[in-house]
């Protein structure tokens, strides 16, 4: 399975770029994990790139 999601910070939204060999249930689970950790992901990204 493989997938890529874009995090739209201003809208606090997730946009699916692509997914390969993933069931709808797996996509829902990934989105749930991303939403639960949205702030942590954004903060870590910004800290890494010093924004």
Helix, coil or strand: residue 23: coil
Alpha-carbon gap, residue 20 to 36, rounded angstroms: 23
Rounded to an integer, the average pLDDT of 27-37 is 96
Sequence ranges of the domains in the chain: 2-48
Percent of the chain whose pLDDT exceeds 70: 98
C-alpha pair distances (Å), 48 with each of 6, 8, 42, 45: 17, 18, 10, 5
Segment (H or E) for 6: strand 2-8
Say how many Å lie between the first and final Cα of the chain, rounded: 32
Residue 12 has pLDDT above 80, yes or no: yes
Q: How confident is the model at residue 22 (pLDDT cuts 50, 70, 90)?
A: very high
Q: What is the pTM of this model?
A: 0.84
pLDDT for position 50: 87
- What pLDDT score does 51 carry? 64
Residue 38: the pLDDT is 96
For tokens 């995090």, the residue is 7
């Amino acid at each position: 399975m493989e997938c890529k999601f874009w995090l739209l910070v201003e809208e606090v939204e997730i946009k699916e770029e692509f997914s390969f060999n993933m069931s709808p249930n797996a996509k829902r689970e990934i989105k749930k994990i991303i939403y639960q950790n949205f702030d942590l992901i954004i903060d870590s990204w910004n800290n890494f790139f010093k924004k």
